[in-house]
């Protein structure tokens, strides 16, 4: 074959590849849909039940916003910003509106105040004295994107915005960072995510691991100062999409997240389920280690009742060492695709208890290995009565993003074990992407021929059926990184 023939064949191959890719994109755009919510759910701790609360005139549907509770006026829930996308992805924009839910009267109110932050998502907002303090976030359009490191304060008495200009060097622009208030009145900023363009159509993300302290200057109202701090201890590995809450001892706790390995246009995430605590007084990180129940300790004090009489200790020792267990859960999508989730659990000892480095620690009496939340990012955390509640989040299985609706609880005073309050519901999962293998298979066939309520009128069973559906932590897989929420 001559050079001309080779070129023509190569040209036809390129056209065929381009047509195939165009068909894939068209097919994917037809199948993928984004669903956003503006529903309000309350979890009743005493009843162990979810209740959907219907309140007229709520804020428009959105995600990646911020919500803060304050005690003023009998309890208020303040919401700012976030983003919206239509189901087909054709319409997308960021909000800059401010809303308040008056819990005493159960009414929504939109608060219109000039001079506030621009439209954004992935920002962070906390309550500080009688103000809301807002930091960072990002804004993305079809042509470009921008990350922020600006700082705003909203006065809860005067209902006015003001932009703050702290002295010192503060954090670089970012979204999805940790922002918490210490018992001493300072504000901690840790980590976050940002991206920058390295060349045409190629962006590189950065998972920040630096920490800053924001302090109000004494005797100078409205004046603030940034200070960079370098905590010691067992620091969390670099990550984004982690969740934070404040423990009863005023320490900040951090859970999970995802560490992304980016190679030009490819992205692979390693999801985490570890727990860390930051002590602002000692400026030190601690790894959150669970002790396990004390059942085995009590048994030993009573004369080792769990050990059979006349048993050969050498035999017990020889049969006790077992491999770590794997709990396997299978989620089945509507199209029949099966995604497997594996959780690694501690190895079992001779009596069925999980082995531990600490001889005083044991497992539950039934000998069932403790279950903990699976690795995830963008989970929701809340602390009430000394207990940490963890809801939902997302993880990835291959090319699919899986959203979760399970609920766990951990007693922060005992730090023994997680309790499952609501099991993961496979039917509520939403699949945000089609895998290439499935698309190729379809094409081959064609060629051959996604707080607490005081009400008592609803029963626990009825309320449990009203639990929130799994909501995507990052619904815009083609346009935004999942770690910015």
Taking the C-alpha atoms of residue 81 and residue 420, their distance in angstroms, rounded to an integer, is 32
Question: Are 300 and 311 contacting, i.e. CB atoms less than 8 angstroms apart?
Answer: no
Query: pLDDT band at residue 451, thresholds of 50, 70 and 90?
Result: very low
Residue 137 in this model has a pLDDT that exceeds 80? yes
Q: Quick check: helix, strand or coil at residue 43?
A: strand
The closest of 384, 438, 383, 373 to 406, measured between CA atoms, is: 373
pLDDT score for 483: 47
Average of per-residue pLDDT across 438-446: 41
CA atoms of 218 and 213, how far apart (whole Å): 15
User: Distance (Å, rounded) from C-alpha 105 to C-alpha 83?
Assistant: 27
pLDDT of residue 192: 94
Best-predicted range by mean pLDDT (153-157, 330-334, 398-402): 153-157
- Name the percent of the chain lying above pLDDT 90: 52
Give the pLDDT confidence score for residue 442 in this predicted structure.
Answer: 44
| Residue 312 in this model has a pLDDT that exceeds 80 | no
Residue 176: pLDDT over 90? yes
Q: Is pLDDT above 70 for 6?
A: no
- The distance between the two most distant Cα atoms of the chain, rounded to a whole number of Å, is 91
On the question of pLDDT at 76 being above 80, the answer is yes
- State the pLDDT at residue 379: 96
Q: Does the pLDDT value for residue 453 go beyond 90?
A: no
Q: Of 108-112, 155-159, 260-264, 362-366, which gets the smallest average pLDDT?
A: 362-366
Task: Provide the whole-model pTM.
Answer: 0.73
- Average pLDDT value over all residues in the chain: 76
For 278-310, how does the pLDDT look when each residue is reduced to its tens digit (9 = 90+)? 999 999 999 999 998 776 555 555 555 444 444
Compare 427 and 215 and report the one with higher pLDDT. Answer: 215
Task: Write down the pLDDT at residue 91.
Answer: 80
Mean pLDDT of 259-269: 69
- Average confidence (pLDDT) over 400-408: 91
Question: 108 has which bridge partners?
Answer: 101
CB-CB contact of 228 with 186 (8 Å): no
pLDDT for position 4: 52
pLDDT of residue 222: 79
Which has more pLDDT, 476 or 154? 154
- Pick from 258, 217, 208, 224: nearest CA to 375: 258
């Amino acid at each position: 074959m001559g050079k001309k023939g080779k070129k023509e064949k190569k040209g036809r191959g390129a056209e065929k590849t381009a047509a195939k890719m165009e068909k894939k994109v068209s097919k994917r755009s037809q199948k993928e849909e984004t669903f956003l919510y503006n529903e309000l759910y309350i979890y009743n701790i005493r009843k162990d039940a979810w209740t959907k609360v219907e309140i007229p005139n709520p804020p428009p549907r959105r995600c990646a916003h911020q919500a803060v509770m304050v005690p003023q006026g009998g309890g208020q829930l303040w919401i700012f910003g976030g983003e919206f996308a239509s189901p087909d992805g054709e319409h997308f924009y960021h909000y800059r509106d401010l809303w308040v839910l008056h819990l005493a009267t159960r009414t929504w109110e939109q608060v219109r105040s000039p001079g506030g932050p621009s439209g954004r998502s992935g920002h962070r907002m906390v309550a500080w004295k009688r103000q809301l303090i807002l930091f960072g976030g990002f804004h993305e359009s079809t042509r470009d994107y921008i990350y922020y490191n600006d700082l705003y304060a909203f006065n809860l008495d005067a209902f006015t915005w003001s932009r703050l200009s702290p002295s010192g060097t503060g954090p670089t622009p970012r979204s999805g960072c940790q922002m918490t208030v210490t018992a001493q009145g300072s504000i901690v900023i840790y980590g976050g995510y940002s991206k920058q363009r390295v060349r045409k159509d190629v962006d590189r993300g950065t998972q920040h691991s630096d920490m800053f302290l924001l302090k109000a200057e004494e005797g100078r109202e409205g004046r603030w100062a940034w200070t960079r701090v370098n905590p010691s201890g067992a620091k969390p590995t670099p990550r984004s999409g982690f969740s934070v809450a404040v423990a009863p001892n005023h320490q900040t706790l951090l859970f999970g997240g995802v560490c992304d390995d980016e190679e030009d246009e490819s992205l692979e995430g390693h999801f985490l389920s570890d727990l860390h605590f930051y002590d602002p007084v000692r400026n030190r990180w601690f790894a959150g280690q669970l002790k396990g129940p004390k059942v085995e300790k009590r048994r030993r004090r009573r004369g080792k009742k769990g050990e059979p009489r006349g048993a050969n200790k050498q035999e017990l020792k020889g049969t006790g060492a077992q491999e770590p267990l794997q709990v396997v859960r299978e989620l089945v999508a509507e199209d029949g695709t099966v995604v497997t989730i594996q959780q690694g659990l501690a190895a079992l000892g001779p009596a069925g208890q999980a082995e531990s480095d600490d001889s005083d620690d044991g497992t539950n009496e039934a000998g069932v290995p403790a279950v903990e939340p699976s690795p995830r990012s963008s989970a929701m955390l809340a602390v009430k009565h000394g207990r940490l509640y963890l809801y939902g989040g997302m993880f990835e299985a291959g090319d699919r993003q899986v959203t979760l609706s399970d609920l766990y609880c951990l007693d922060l005073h005992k730090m023994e074990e997680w309790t499952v309050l609501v099991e993961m519901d496979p039917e509520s999962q939403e699949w945000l992407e089609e895998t290439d293998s499935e698309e190729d298979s379809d094409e081959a066939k064609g060629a051959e021929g996604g707080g607490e309520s005081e009400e008592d009128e609803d029963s626990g069973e009825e309320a449990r059926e009203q639990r929130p559906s799994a909501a995507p932590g990052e619904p815009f897989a083609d346009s935004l990184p999942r770690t910015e929420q």
